[in-house]
Chain A
Amino acid sequence: MEGKRSSSQRSDLLRKIREFTRSILDDLSIGKSPVVLIDRFRNYCTDNTGNCCCSSDLSKGKEMLTLQRECHAHRLDVLLRVLLIVQQLLQENRHGSKRDIYYMHPSVFSDQSVVDRAINDICILLQCSRHNLNVAYPVPVHVEEVKDIVSVAQYILVVEKESVFQRLANDKFCNKNRCIVITGRGYPDIPTRRFLRLLVEKLHLHVYCLVDCDPYGFDILTTYRFGSMQMAYDAKFLRVPEIEWLGAFPSDSEKYGLPEPCLLPLTAEDKRKTEAMLHRCYLQQELLHWRLELELMLQRGVKFEIEALSVHSLSFLSENYIPSKIQVVEGV
Chain B
Amino acid sequence: MNDPAHHDEDEDQGDVFLDENDVVQEITVDDEDLPDAEGEDDDAEDFEEADDSMHIFTGHTGELYTVACSPMDARLVATGGGDDKGFIWKIFDGDWAFELGGHKDSVCSLDFSTDGQLLASGSFDGLVKIWDASSGDLKGTLEGPGGGIEWVRWHPRGHLVLAGSEDCTVWMWNADRSAYLNMFSGHASSVTCGNFTPDGKTICTGSDDATLRIWNPRNGENIHVVRGHPYHTEGLTCLAITSDSTLALTGSKDGSVHIVNIATGKVVSSLTSHTDSIECIGLSLSSPWAATGGMDNKLIVWDLQHSSPRCTCDNEDGVTCLSWLGDSKYVAAGCVDGKIRIWDSLSGDCVRTFSGHSDAIQSLGVSADKNFLVSGSLDGTARVFEIPEFQ
* Chain A residues near B (Cβ < 8 Å): 1-2, 7, 18, 22, 25, 88-89, 91-95
The interface-forming segment of B10-18, B53-61, B285-293 is B53-61
Query: Can you give 24 contacting A-B residue pairs, CB < 8 Å?
Result: A1-B92, A1-B371, A2-B54, A2-B92, A18-B48, A22-B47, A25-B47, A88-B58, A89-B94, A91-B53, A91-B55, A91-B56, A92-B55, A92-B57, A92-B94, A93-B55, A93-B92, A93-B93, A93-B94, A93-B95, A94-B94, A94-B95, A95-B94, A95-B95
* Structural contact, B54 and A7, CB atoms closer than 8 A: yes
Report B-chain residues with C-beta under 8 Å of the C-beta of A22: 47
The 8 A CB mask of B177-212 against A (1 = contact, 0 = none) is 000000000000000000000000000000000000
Task: Tell me if A92 and B56 are in contact (CB < 8 A).
Answer: yes
Chain B positions within 8 Å of A88 at CB level: 58
Closest B residue to A136 by CB, please name it: B95
Chain A residue nearest in CB terms to B47 = A22
How far is B55's CA from A89's CA once the two chains are assembled, in angstroms?
10
CA distance A38 to B236 in the complex (A): 61
Q: Chain A CB within 10 Å — which of B51, B54, B94 has the most?
A: B94
Alpha-carbon distance A94/B95, docked complex (angstroms):
5
Q: Which residues of B (70-109) have their CB < 8 Å from a CB of A? A: 92-95
Q: How many A-B residue pairs have CB under 8 A?
A: 28
Q: Which residues from A are CB-within-8-Å of B58?
A: 88, 92
Determine how close the nearest CB of chain A comes to the CB of B40; give it in whole angstroms.
Answer: 13
- A-chain residues with CB within 8 Å of residue B94 when the two chains form the complex: 89, 92-95
Docked pose: A89 CA to B57 CA in angstroms? 10
7 tightest A-B CB contacts, nearest first: A94-B94, A93-B94, A92-B94, A2-B92, A91-B56, A93-B92, A92-B56
Distance, CA A329 to CA B95, complexed state (A): 47
Interface residues of B (CB under 8 A from A): 47-48, 51, 53-58, 92-95, 371
Q: Which residues of A contact B93 (CB under 8 A)?
A: 93
Query: Nearest chain A CB to B370's CB is how many angstroms away?
Result: 12
- Tell me the bound Cα distance from A25 to B55 in angstroms: 26
| 10 additional A-B residue pairs with CB within 8 Å, beyond A2-B92, A18-B48, A91-B56 | A1-B371, A2-B54, A7-B54, A25-B47, A88-B58, A89-B94, A91-B51, A92-B58, A93-B92, A95-B94
Q: Which of A2, A22, A89 has the most CB of B within 10 A?
A: A2
Contacts of A94 in B (CB 8 A): 94-95
Nearest Cβ distance between residue B351 and chain A, in whole angstroms? Answer: 21
Which of B57, B92, B93, B371 has the most A CB atoms < 10 Å from its CB? B92
Q: Which residues of chain A are near B54, meaning CB under 8 Å?
A: 2, 7
User: Which residues of the other chain, B, contact A89 by a CB distance below 8 angstroms?
Assistant: 94
The residue on B at minimum CB distance from A96 is B95
CB distance from A7 to the nearest CB of B (A): 7
Q: Whole-angstrom distance between the alpha carbons of A93 and B371 in the complex?
A: 17
- Give min CB distance, B182 to chain A, whole Å: 42
Alpha-carbon distance between A91 and B47 when the two chains are bound, in angstroms = 18
- Of the listed residues A2, A18, A88, A91, the one surrounded by the most CB atoms of chain B closer than 10 A to its CB is A91
Q: How far is the CB of B135 from chain A (nearest CB, A)?
A: 20
Chain B residue with the shortest CB-CB distance to A3: B92
Which B residues lie within 8 Å of A7 (CB)?
A: 54
CB-based nearest A residue for B59: A92
- Shortest CB-to-CB span from A101 to chain B, Å, is 15
Distance in Å from the Cβ of A125 to the closest Cβ of chain B? 20
Residue numbers in A under 8 Å from B53 (CB-CB): 91
Complex Cα–Cα for A18 and B92 (A): 21
Inter-chain contacts of B57 with A (CB < 8 A): 92
CB distance from B54 to the nearest CB of A (A): 7
Q: Complex Cα distance A44/B82, Å?
A: 57
Alpha-carbon distance between A2 and B48 when the two chains are bound, in angstroms = 25
**Distance to closest chain B CB from A202 (angstroms):** 27
Residue of B whose beta carbon sits closest to that of A2: B92
| Complex Cα spacing A256 to B56, Å | 62
Within the complex, the shortest CB–CB distance from B28 to chain A, in Å, comes to 33
Query: Could you tell me the distance in whole angstroms from the C-beta of A18 to the nearest C-beta in chain B?
Result: 8
State A94–B47 Cα separation when bound (angstroms). Answer: 25
List, in ascending order, chain B residues with CB within 8 A of A91's CB. Answer: 51, 53, 55-56
Q: How many whole Å from B371's CB to the nearest CB in chain A?
A: 7
B73 CB to nearest A CB, Å: 13
